[in-house]
Amino acid sequence: MSTVSGRTDSKAALPGAATRRSGPMLRWLGTRGPREFVLRWVVLFALFIGWELAAKAAESPYFPPPSEFAARAAELWLPADGTWLTEATANDVLPSLARMFGGLALGSLVAVVLGVAIGLSRRLGDYVDPLIQFSRAIPPPALIPIFLVLFDRGALMRVLLIAFGAMWPVLLNTIEGVRSVDVIKYETASIFRIGFADKLVRIVLPGAAQKVFAGLRTSLALGLILMVISEMVASTGGIGFHIVQAQRSFQILDMWAGILLLGVLGYLLNLVLTVVERRVLAWHRTTNREIA
């Protein structure tokens, strides 16, 4: 979990810390060379065996061996018997993911639009800054009672909660990204009387893209957390609901299977974003190198 808060990437206290931070992160994701690859899998395998043996020896009702809950997870969610979609996947995983991506899409869209506006106009930024600082300081779960009253307990409330809670990293990074756009580029465009829309699409947005992606990465982790939280209260479906329900009925295997599923989802989402980021921002690195 990189952050609940989203205060990690954009607001590093030291100059350059933010950029330095993205480097090792990326490198930690992919292995360098076969030796590291082997080492990594050996370690993971040893960990798994160790856990398995420890769990079998301890016989604690709360810590089943990983092989058992992994099997349970596979049974629940992996396609089997010719059906591509198991019932549990259709009931829990897909609605959860739909709400999460819906919330993230809505939140990011609002955040980028607001962020560009605030980034371009310092005056607007001054007016809304305290409101933004305050809103993002509210722990999102504390908003659940209010959101329940305002939007009822349907999917809308959950999507809005995810959107509201996950938008701040994108918003702050977009503001920062837009403000960091080369003034000369922007003013050159103005001199040549290039229209506002063109400036926006060709100068401001590409200039801010890298920061926006950094924000998205944090938002993605937040979105997953908020998805789970939103499903733990007054819910009838979803992965979070599955886990809470399993805990309340002492289906320990189901609970662990749910935790495993969330871990896998978190890993995959981060991986996908890294790949997308590399693709989308590939030009960024090359152009910047040419200039520098």
Partner 1 sequence: MSAITSRMVRKQSGRRRAGGRVGRGIVGVAVAVLAAQLLSVSGAISPTSLPPMFEVLGSTGHLFVDPSFLREVLATIQAAVTGLAIATAIAVPAGLVLGSFRLLNQAASAVVEFLRPIPSVALIPLAILLFGQGAQMKVSLVVYASVWPIFFNTIYGVRDVEPLAKETARIFRIPPLRVLTHVLLPSAAPFVATGIRVAAAIALIVTISAELLAGSADGLGAWILRMSSGGANLALVYAGTIFAGLLGLVVNWLLVRGEQRLFRWRREGVGAA
Binders in 208-247 for partner 1, by CB under 8 A = 221, 224-225, 228-229, 232-233, 240, 243-244, 246-247
Looking at the Cβ atoms of 203 and 221, the one nearer to partner 1 is 221
Kindly indicate which of the ranges 10-18, 80-88, 94-102, 282-290 contains the residues binding partner 1, using the contact rule CB under 8 A. Answer: 10-18
Looking at the Cβ atoms of 17 and 200, the one nearer to partner 1 is 17
Query: Does residue 44 belong to the site contacting partner 1 (CB under 8 A)?
Result: yes
Q: Quick one: which of 130, 193, 279, 290 contacts partner 1 (CB under 8 A)?
A: 130
| Window 251 to 280, contacts with partner 1 (CB under 8 A) | 252, 255-256, 258-259, 262-267, 270
| Window 55 to 74, contacts with partner 1 (CB under 8 A) | 62
Query: Does residue 30 belong to the site contacting partner 1 (CB under 8 A)?
Result: no
SS (HEC) of the chain? CCCCCCCCCCCCCCCCHHHHHHHHHHHHHCCCHHHHHHHHHHHHHHHHHHHHHHHHHHCCCCCCCHHHHHHHHHHHHCCECCECCCHHHHHHHHHHHHHHHHHHHHHHHHHHHHHHHHHHCHHHHHHHHHHHHHHHHCCHHHHHHHHHHHHCCCHHHHHHHHHHHHHHHHHHHHHHHHHCCCHHHHHHHHHCCCCHHHHHHHHHHHHHHHHHHHHHHHHHHHHHHHHHHHHHCCCCCCHHHHHHHHHHCCCHHHHHHHHHHHHHHHHHHHHHHHHHHHHHCHHHHHHHHHHC
Query: Does residue 291 belong to the site contacting partner 1 (CB under 8 A)?
Result: no
Least distance to partner 1, CB of residue 13, Å: 5
Looking at the Cβ atoms of 28 and 192, the one nearer to partner 1 is 28
Kindly indicate which of the ranges 122-130, 171-179, 180-188, 203-211 contains the residues binding partner 1, using the contact rule CB under 8 A. Answer: 122-130
Query: Does residue 127 belong to the site contacting partner 1 (CB under 8 A)?
Result: yes
Query: Does residue 22 belong to the site contacting partner 1 (CB under 8 A)?
Result: no
Q: Quick one: which of 19, 83, 133, 288 contacts partner 1 (CB under 8 A)?
A: 133
> What does the alpha-carbon distance between residue 214 and residue 260 come to, in Å, rounded to a whole number?
26
> What does the alpha-carbon distance between residue 7 and residue 136 come to, in Å, rounded to a whole number?
9
Query: Does residue 167 belong to the site contacting partner 1 (CB under 8 A)?
Result: no
Q: Quick one: which of 19, 26, 40, 83 contacts partner 1 (CB under 8 A)?
A: 40
Query: Does residue 157 belong to the site contacting partner 1 (CB under 8 A)?
Result: no
